[in-house]
């Protein structure tokens, strides 16, 4: 199959059509219109076979995941996703694989009202790059830099599930089929917190999505904002599947150090805390307060039931940096 046949079959005329796309797939560039008084938010992520996913990952999940991780970055800035471009490097043209992959991709694109406006198709070892674009009212994007002493620290959902799914495959952790199914769903089909990100706009002081683990990603906020933080680790939300599978001492590396869950971590002033919690609840997001920002220059302290908590050394290696 020729490149243009492949594009026509799997991309052109499939998926949603947005009114702000002036020219979509088929020319040398796409043309889009950014509304007045908005800024364009742009992010890119690549998934490489054998590095970011197992070779036997269901292709439909891969289509979902590659877009989800990009939408998560837009969510973390409070942007509304609008358009994506897709660079696809394929070892061969496998029609069943392409059908399932594009099904996963179009499904999540439609759900979030995102149009695929172009891309590139090449031959080589399997690798997928998405560049996602979004719009955000001028000056209203959330960054990593706004946290202030006294702000509260929140996460939008349970952490550690995706890591458990990965390690259960790699190391044969004892896990029941039901629990395995639950955590694999979170690894294969992560939910980018797009609505939550937009709710945070104007209320949160900083935000980031947790792709590399709570400790690492909160660390980015602390350094950019030039503040310290105390996190009470027992307050960090965990799924029932994770609690059922691991005893307490085994949980922390997953919950605190593993990424890939794509929940949002954000800070909010004491004055806006209640308003933000209520607004998130209206959108079905149960954000949990896990600690507080303090004056300082980038240090993170963890406590467990009031005692200083030190992470066990040599935690699990992160599979997908």
Residues that bind ligand ADP (CB under 6 A): 3, 7, 11, 25-28, 86, 88, 116, 118-121
| 268 contact, one of Mg ion, ligand ADP, none, CB 5-8 Å limit per kind | none
Which lies closer to ligand ADP via its Cβ, residue 121 or residue 272?
121
Q: Indicate the residue among 53 and 187 with the shorter CB distance to ligand ADP.
A: 53
153, 235 Cβ separation under 8 angstroms: no
- Given Mg ion, ligand ADP, none, residue 27, with its beta carbon under 5 to 8 Å by kind, binds ligand ADP
In the complex, minimum distance from the CB of residue 23 to ligand ADP, in angstroms, rounded to a whole number = 9
Q: How far is the CB of 238 from ligand ADP (least distance, A)?
A: 38
Nearest to 20 by CA among 86, 102, 113: 113
Closest distance to ligand ADP from the beta carbon of 120 (Å):
5
Q: Residue 69 in contact with residue 105, Cβ under 8 Å?
A: no
CB of 255 to ligand ADP, least distance (A): 37
Nearer to ligand ADP (CB atom), residue 7 or residue 109: 7
Could you give the C-alpha distances from 73 to 84, 90, 143, 193, in angstroms and in order?
13, 25, 11, 9
Q: Of the two residues 88 and 199, which places its CB atom closer to ligand ADP in the complex?
A: 88
Chain positions contacting Mg ion, by CB under 5 A: 120
Task: Tell me the closest approach of the beta carbon of residue 84 to ligand ADP, in angstroms.
Answer: 9
Q: How far is the CB of 120 from Mg ion (least distance, A)?
A: 4
Picked from Mg ion, ligand ADP, none, the partner binding residue 319 (CB below 5 to 8 A depending on kind) is: none
Kindly tell me which of 127 and 257 has the beta carbon lying closer to ligand ADP: 127
Beta strands per DSSP E along the chain: 21-23, 31-32, 38-48, 80-90, 115-123, 127-137, 152-155, 204-209, 227-232, 264-268, 288-295, 300-304, 307-308
Edge-to-edge strand order for the sheet containing 127-137?
A: 38-48, 127-137, 80-90, 115-123
Of the candidates 115, 110, 62, 131, the residue with the CA atom closest to the CA atom of residue 90? 62
Q: Please tell me the distance from the alpha carbon of residue 51 to that of residue 245, in angstroms, as a whole number.
A: 26
Q: Distances in Å between the alpha carbon of 162 and those of 13, 153, 320?
A: 34, 22, 11
Nearer residue to ligand ADP within complex by CB, 8 or 272: 8
Select from Mg ion, ligand ADP, none the partner in contact with residue 20, using the beta carbon and a kind-dependent cut-off of 5 to 8 Å: none
């Amino acid at each position: 199959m020729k490149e243009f046949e492949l594009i026509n079959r799997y991309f052109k005329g499939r998926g949603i059509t947005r009114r702000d796309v002036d020219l979509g797939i088929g020319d040398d560039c796409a043309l889009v219109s950014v509304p007045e008084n908005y800024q364009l938010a742009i992010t890119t992520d690549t998934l490489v076979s054998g590095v970011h996913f197992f070779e036997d990952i269901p292709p439909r999940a891969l289509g979902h995941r590659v877009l989800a991780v990009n939408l998560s970055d837009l969510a973390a800035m409070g942007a509304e996703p609008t358009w994506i471009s897709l660079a696809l490097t394929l070892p061969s043209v496998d029609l069943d694989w392409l059908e399932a992959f594009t099904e996963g991709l179009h499904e999540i694109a439609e759900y979030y009202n995102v149009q695929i406006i172009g891309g590139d198709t090449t031959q080589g070892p399997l690798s997928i790059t998405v560049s996602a674009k979004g719009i955000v009212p001028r000056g209203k994007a959330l960054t990593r830099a706004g946290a202030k002493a006294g702000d509260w620290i929140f996460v939008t959902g349970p952490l550690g599930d995706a890591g458990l799914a990965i390690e259960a495959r790699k190391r044969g952790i004892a896990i029941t089929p039901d629990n395995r199914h639950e955590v694999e769903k979170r690894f294969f089909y992560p939910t980018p917190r797009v609505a939550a990100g937009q709710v945070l706009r104007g209320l949160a002081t900083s935000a980031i999505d947790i792709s590399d683990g709570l400790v690492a990603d909160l660390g980015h906020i602390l350094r950019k904002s030039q503040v310290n933080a105390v996190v009470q680790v027992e307050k960090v939300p965990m799924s029932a599947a994770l609690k059922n599978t691991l005893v307490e001492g085994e949980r922390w590396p997953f919950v605190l150090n593993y990424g890939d869950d794509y929940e949002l971590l954000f800070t909010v002033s004491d004055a806006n805390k209640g308003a933000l919690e209520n607004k998130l609840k209206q959108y079905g997001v149960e954000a949990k307060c896990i600690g507080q920002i303090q004056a300082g220059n980038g240090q993170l302290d963890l406590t467990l039931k009031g005692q200083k908590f030190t992470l066990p050394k040599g935690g699990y290696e992160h599979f997908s940096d």
